[in-house]
């Protein structure tokens, strides 16, 4: 999760929703140190939050504002998988509770963070909201129905926010990756899963970061979900 304001402040949060908080914290702290070293005038901080609840999402935003000020850019990048039953799994193995928790984390708290970020963006008539979706939103994916449908929900949110707020200088977009290396979400994917990617390899975090940076700085792109999937989907449009 990244909040940012032009030139001077970067905000970083690492969610303790599904994976090792110690590992996430170490990565976040290292990134903060690197940012301060690269740009001594930059203020940077890391915050920890369990973003599976709406209350915690609101608290995270308030903590960021208290320490560093209101964000101009929201990059909402957190998520969980829920049960990994695969494309040939049995829907009976996903409980309504699993489904609801996945949706709350993967769509609901993204909604809350955007809701909290909007008033300041409206006040200054400039803002960027960027969500991380998934190729699963358009293909069904390789995890399960709870995950694919939660990511599809983000697309509807992107479209609504884009059309409602673009005339106020607030642009909303999404990035939909396929499998990305060096992440906890899909460790050691099977050969069958890898074979779905025509380019022949997993994506790299830096390749997704380049897309996010473009969306954060471009002033003419809104209401788009950019697919970065190594050729997995035909045409790449959702």
Spatial contact of 118 and 165, defined as CB atoms under 8 Å apart: yes
What is the largest distance, in Å, between two alpha-carbon atoms of the chain? 54
Token pair listed for 230: 């190594």
CA distances (Å), origin 73, targets 37, 62, 170: 22, 15, 9
Q: Average pLDDT by consecutive 10-residue portion of the chain (238 residues)?
A: 52 46 79 88 88 96 93 95 95 98 98 98 98 95 96 98 98 95 71 80 92 97 96 66
For residue 89, which of 80, 98, 101 has the smallest C-alpha distance?
A: 98
Please tell me whether residue 183 adopts helix, strand or coil conformation.
coil
In order of their start, the domains of the chain are 64-85+92-228 (3.40.50.720)
- pTM value is 0.89
Residue appearing with tokens 């909604």? 111
143-187: per-residue pLDDT in tens? 999 999 999 999 999 999 999 999 999 999 999 999 888 776 666
Tell me the residue length of the chain.
Answer: 238
Please tell me whether residue 167 adopts helix, strand or coil conformation.
helix
Please tell me whether residue 75 adopts helix, strand or coil conformation.
strand
């Amino acid at each position: 999760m990244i909040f940012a304001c032009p030139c001077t402040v970067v905000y970083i949060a690492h969610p303790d929703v599904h994976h090792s908080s110690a590992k996430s914290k170490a990565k976040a702290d290292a990134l903060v140190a690197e940012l301060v070293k690269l740009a001594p005038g930059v203020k940077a901080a890391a915050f920890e939050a369990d973003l599976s609840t709406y209350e915690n999402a609101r608290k995270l935003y308030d903590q960021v504002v208290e320490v560093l000020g209101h964000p101009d850019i929201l990059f909402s990048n957190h998520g969980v998988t829920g049960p990994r039953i695969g494309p040939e799994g049995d829907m009976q193995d996903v409980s309504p509770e699993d489904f609801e928790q996945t949706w709350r984390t993967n769509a609901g708290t993204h909604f809350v963070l955007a809701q909290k970020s909007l008033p300041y963006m409206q006040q200054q008539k400039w803002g960027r909201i960027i969500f991380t979706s998934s190729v699963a939103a358009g293909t069904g994916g390789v995890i399960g129905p709870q995950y694919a449908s939660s990511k599809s929900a983000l697309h509807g949110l992107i479209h609504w926010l884009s059309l409602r707020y673009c005339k106020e200088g607030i642009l909303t977009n999404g990035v939909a990756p396929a499998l990305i290396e060096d992440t906890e979400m899909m460790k050691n994917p099977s050969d069958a899963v890898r074979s779905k990617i025509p380019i022949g390899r997993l994506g790299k975090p830096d390749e997704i970061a380049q897309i996010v940076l473009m969306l954060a700085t471009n002033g003419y792109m809104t209401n788009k979900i950019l697919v970065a999937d190594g050729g997995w989907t035909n045409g790449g449009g959702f």
